[in-house]
């Protein structure tokens, strides 16, 4: 099992985190309209998967804002913010913040996403949520960059993620 940290304390994850060069696992998640969407919905586009524990935390909100800001200038790129939050919470946050360049998706119906992407938190106070990670995919869903953030409370390396595109 892989581990990350929460305030320096190890947290176990399950699944296999994708590495650069891998083909991204297919997924089905729920969008803000409560519709099931698949990775294939963004076929032919580059994708930034901003995987977060919960939009209702400061660091998750900051990464969503930062990727929204950066996404507006990226050609042929979709920024997908993925968490176990209910779609209502993510839509409420983006609406209140005026964030229009990210797409929020929820794993609440499809826990297999967390396993398939190796971000399923197994223990501790965040059990059941996603670990913080960024996975950048090309138009053919090949992984260009991946970062499983070691300390859940830290922000991801935005520059490395954007540079991979």
Catalytic residue set: 60
CB 106 within 8 A of CB 84: yes
Q: How far apart are CA 6 and CA 105, in angstroms?
A: 23
Cα–Cα separations (whole angstroms), residue 78 to 37, 132, 162: 14, 18, 12
Sign of the four-CA dihedral 123, 3, 79, 155: positive
CB 41 within 8 A of CB 47: no
For residue 153, the tally of other CB atoms under 10 A from its CB is: 14
The tally of CA atoms less than 13 A away on the side-chain side of residue 95 is 7
- Nearest Cα neighbor of 13 from 137, 118, 138 is 118
């Amino acid at each position: 099992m892989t581990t990350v940290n929460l305030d320096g304390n190890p947290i176990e994850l399950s699944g296999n985190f994708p590495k650069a060069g891998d083909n991204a696992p297919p997924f089905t998640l729920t969008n803000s309209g409560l519709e099931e969407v698949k990775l294939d919905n963004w076929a032919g586009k580059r994708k930034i998967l901003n995987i977060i524990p919960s939009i209702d935390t400061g660091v998750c909100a900051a990464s969503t804002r930062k990727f929204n800001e950066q996404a507006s200038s990226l050609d042929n790129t979709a920024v997908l913010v993925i968490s176990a939050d209910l779609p209502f919470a993510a839509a409420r946050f983006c609406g209140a913040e005026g964030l229009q360049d990210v797409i929020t998706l929820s794993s609440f119906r499809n826990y297999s996403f967390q396993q398939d992407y190796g971000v399923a938190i197994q223990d501790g106070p965040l059990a059941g949520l996603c670990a913080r990670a960024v996975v950048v995919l090309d138009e053919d869903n090949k992984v260009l960059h991946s970062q499983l953030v070691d300390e859940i409370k830290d922000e991801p390396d935005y520059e490395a993620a954007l540079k991979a595109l």
